[in-house]
């Protein structure tokens, strides 16, 4: 299996919404973003699948060394070998990869966060940095697009936190700030019981509204000149916003069941969003739709 095929298989098997946002990219960008996504999955799996924290730290240390080898021209892993041309072509900084690993390692150091400010550093490392790297791959003319990418990464991570709260509790992790649990009269152990009380529903609605605020900030920050080149992020946002809609319609019962969209629904949203952005781009360029 080639490094590119390894990354493609990793992305496809994950079932992630990211996979559907890659489908409409030119080949070089699609290969680069797929390799970046595969890297994120590899280091995330180290933490999620390894129960021994010390072993997980050793593996993350290996990945730090492997990133060093990548930038020195001698990567060993299929993912870093696939990343090598992307690093050269899209000028992806070494420190960004290391910061993502730092974010993953935070899961070994913290199983909960006292405030949203404390949580924000984690979200920045594991999501916003990825968003900024993706923006570099997609291309931009206006540097304000990097602010859009940061906000969008935050929005994605906050959506994930709400969607996955039950699974995270089962792993002994809680990403909803503790001071907000106290504000809404919810004890941490209540979230492990799998029942959505009135107070828990209010707490989760507050998390949903914060995520939507970050989506709004992202869309407001995206310059019109870069909208079409950044369409993969907009596709992803459309899929994630549909997921938030489903969570809200279901009464925020994410402790009782996992809310997710079918692959066909994700593909339809991706196709529709790509078509909309292409038409918008053609209108701006003065071409017939």
CB 201 within 8 Å of CB 118: no
Task: Report the candidate in 203, 178, 215, 183 with the shortest Cα–Cα distance to residue 255.
Answer: 203
Residue numbers of the domain that contains 124: 110-282
Tell whether 158 and 229 lie within a shared domain: yes
| Sequence-distant (≥ 6) Cβ neighbours of residue 177 within 8 angstroms | 113, 114, 115, 116, 118, 119
Q: What is the CATH number of the domain that holds 265?
A: 1.10.600.10
Enumerate the H helices of the chain as residue ranges.
3-14, 17-22, 27-49, 53-72, 78-90, 94-109, 116-123, 129-138, 144-163, 165-170, 178-183, 188-191, 198-221, 231-249, 263-285
Q: Are 171 and 274 part of one and the same domain?
A: yes
Does 198 reside within a domain? Answer: yes
- Does residue 174 sit in helix, strand or coil? strand
Q: Is residue 288 part of a domain?
A: no
Check whether residue 28 and residue 51 sit in a common domain. yes
Instruction: Count up the domains in the chain and report the number.
Output: 2
Calculate the alpha carbon distances from 204 to 82, 109, 212, 255 in Å. Answer: 39, 25, 12, 10
State the Cα–Cα distance between residues 63 and 124, nearest whole angstrom. 20
| Neighbouring residues of 32: CB distance < 8 A, sequence distance ≥ 6 | 83, 85, 86, 89, 90, 137
Phi, psi of 260 (to 5 degrees): -150, 160
pLDDT of 117-129, one tens digit each?
Answer: 999 999 999 999 9
> With 80 as the cut, is the pLDDT of residue 285 above it?
no
C-alpha distances (whole Å) from 280 to each of 71, 142, 273, 289 are 39, 18, 11, 8
158 and 211 Cβ atoms separated by less than 8 Å: yes
* Residue finishing a domain among 89, 107, 125: 107
Q: Is residue 94 part of a domain?
A: yes
What is the pLDDT averaged over residues 230-245? Answer: 96
How many percent of the chain have pLDDT more than 90?
A: 82
- How far from chain centre, in Å, is Cα 246? 19
Q: Is residue 32 situated within a structural domain?
A: yes
Residues 40, 210: Cα–Cα separation, whole Å: 24
| Beta bridge pairs of residue 112 | 174
Q: Are residues 114 and 232 in the same domain?
A: yes
Q: What string of H, E and C letters represents the secondary structure of 52-117?
A: CHHHHHHHHHHHHHHHHHHHHCCCCCHHHHHHHHHHHHHCCCHHHHHHHHHHHHHHHHCCECCCHH
Cα separation of the two ends of the chain: 41
**pLDDT tens-place string over residues 60-112:** 999 999 999 999 999 999 999 999 999 999 989 999 999 999 999 999 999 99
Residue among 123, 250, 160, 142 at smallest CA distance from 196: 250
Residue 289 has pLDDT above 60, yes or no: no
Asked if residue 245 and residue 138 are part of one domain, the reply reads: yes
Distance between CA 90 and CA 73 in Å, rounded? Answer: 16
Asked whether residue 9 falls in the same domain as residue 97, the answer is yes
What's residue 288's pLDDT? 52
Asked if 185 and 261 sit in the same domain, the reply is yes
Q: For the chain, what is the mean pLDDT? A: 93
Q: What is the mean pLDDT of residues 149-155?
A: 98
Q: What is the mean pLDDT of residues 252-274?
A: 92
């Amino acid at each position: 299996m080639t490094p590119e095929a390894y990354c493609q298989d990793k992305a496809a098997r994950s079932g992630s919404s990211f996979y559907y946002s890659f489908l409409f990219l030119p080949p070089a960008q699609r290969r680069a973003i797929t390799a970046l996504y595969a890297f994120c999955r590899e280091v995330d799996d180290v933490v999620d699948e390894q129960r021994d924290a010390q072993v997980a730290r050793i593996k993350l240390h290996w990945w730090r060394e492997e990133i060093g080898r990548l930038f020195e021209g001698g990567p060993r892993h299929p993912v870093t070998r696939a990343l090598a041309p992307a690093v050269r072509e899209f000028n992806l900084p070494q420190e960004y990869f290391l910061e993502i690993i730092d974010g993953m390692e935070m899961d070994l150091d913290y199983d909960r966060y006292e405030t949203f400010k404390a949580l924000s550093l984690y979200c920045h490392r594991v999501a916003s940095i990825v968003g900024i790297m993706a923006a570099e791959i997609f291309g931009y003319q206006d540097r304000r697009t990097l602010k859009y990418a940061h906000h969008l990464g935050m929005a994605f991570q906050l959506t994930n936190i709400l969607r996955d709260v039950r699974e995270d509790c089962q792993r002994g992790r809680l990403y909803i700030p503790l001071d907000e649990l106290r504000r809404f009269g919810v004890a941490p152990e209540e979230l492990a019981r799998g029942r959505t009380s009135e107070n828990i529903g209010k707490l989760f609605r507050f998390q949903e509204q914060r995520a939507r605020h970050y989506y709004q900030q992202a869309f407001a920050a995206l310059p019109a000149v870069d909208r079409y080149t950044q369409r993969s992020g907009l596709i992803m946002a459309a899929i994630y916003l549909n997921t938030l809609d489903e969570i809200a319609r279901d009464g925020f019962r994410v402790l009782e069941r996992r809310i997710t969209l079918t692959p066909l629904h994700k593909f339809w949203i991706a196709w529709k969003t790509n078509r909309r952005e292409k038409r918008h781009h053609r209108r701006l360029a003065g071409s017939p739709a």
